[in-house]
Amino acid sequence: MERKFQVNYKKDILRFALLLGEQMLTNGAETSRVEDSVLRVCKSRGFKHVNVFTTPTCVIISDEKFDGLTFMKTISKRTINLTKIDRLNDISRQFVQNEDIDPLKAISMLQEVDAVKDYDQFVYFAGTAMASASFAYLIGGTGILDFILTLVIASIGVIIYNKTIKLNQIPFFATLISSFFIAVFGNLLVKYNILASSKSLIVGSIMPLLPGVSFIKGLRDLISGNLIAGTSRIIDSCLIAAAIAVGVGVVLDLSIRFGG
């Protein structure tokens, strides 16, 4: 009997495709790319009747044929990791181009990618701080003191975000709290005459919180026809932007009201 007619073999292929889609979504891939990769994997092994439904929070793979196999996985946590997406793309291409690759071996390859640790915390904070301080320099924070203080405040803002997200798993709330404290620190530096203006420091420090990548991915999903995924990503990005605006705006408003 050919492998494509063996139920267990088909289940392994669908499991591999599901895990591939899950990891791609978790690491920030567009839903259109996820669906394309899953379908290519299934078609490469002769399963051309497979349908895929993908949103930022769910992957469903189903077969129209009589056996009716369906696999689903919910996505509760998402991030942006382009390195892992690149490795996942390589694995999917290898699997499609080489029919001799066993699906169980391919699954173990995906698990190895998932086990790869992110950048060291020091590298992460250093890169974030340097990017924020550099952006602050571009919008007018030309003094060395502005640069150094933006380095510090941006790092504090990211730490507050990470600590908050671990407590409640709500990005909106974590962004609100982080942007609030960034604005508070900026205003305190101005109040005690350490800085003449907090504009460049606040704008530079909130840059790591901005959902620019998510917004662009939402637009790409809409353009490619994924209306549900695109709309949900854009709404999510708008909510994050609103959280930043509210967090900073409340501090500035209170500062003005009380003579800041």
What are phi and psi for residue 78, nearest 5 degrees?
Answer: -130, 145
pLDDT number for residue 259: 67
Asked if residue 111 and residue 127 are part of one domain, the reply reads no
Asked if residue 102 and residue 128 are part of one domain, the reply reads no
Asked if residue 12 and residue 139 are part of one domain, the reply reads no
8 Cβ contact partners less than 8 Å away, ≥ 6 residues apart: none
Percent of the chain with pLDDT over 90: 45
Count of domains observed in the chain: 2
The whole domain housing 107 covers 3-115
Reported as a single tens digit per residue, the pLDDT across 47-58 is: 888 999 988 889
Reported as a single tens digit per residue, the pLDDT across 201-229 is: 999 999 989 988 888 888 888 888 888 88
Asked if residue 186 and residue 213 are part of one domain, the reply reads yes
182: confidence class by pLDDT, cuts 50, 70, 90: very high
111: confidence class by pLDDT, cuts 50, 70, 90: very high
116: confidence class by pLDDT, cuts 50, 70, 90: confident
Extract the tokens encoding 20. Answer: 């591939």
Which three-class secondary structure state does DSSP give residue 59?
strand
Residue that finishes a domain, picked among 98, 115, 132: 115
pLDDT number for residue 5: 54
Asked if residue 26 and residue 11 are part of one domain, the reply reads yes
Mean of pLDDT values over 32-55: 90
CA torsion, ordered 48, 53, 54, 59, to nearest 10 deg: -80
Asked if residue 201 and residue 159 are part of one domain, the reply reads yes
> Crossing angle, helix 199-206 and helix 144-168, to 10 degrees?
40
226 Cβ contact partners less than 8 Å away, ≥ 6 residues apart: 30, 31, 32, 35, 54
CA torsion, ordered 240, 85, 97, 41, to nearest 10 deg: -40
The C-alpha atoms of residue 96 and residue 38 are separated, in whole angstroms, by 10
Lowest mean pLDDT among 88-97, 118-127, 149-158, 212-221: 118-127
Reported as a single tens digit per residue, the pLDDT across 138-159 is: 887 778 888 899 999 999 999 9
78: confidence class by pLDDT, cuts 50, 70, 90: confident
pLDDT number for residue 49: 86
pLDDT number for residue 20: 95
260 has a pLDDT exceeding 80: no
Percent of the chain with pLDDT over 70: 97
Residue that finishes a domain, picked among 85, 115, 145: 115
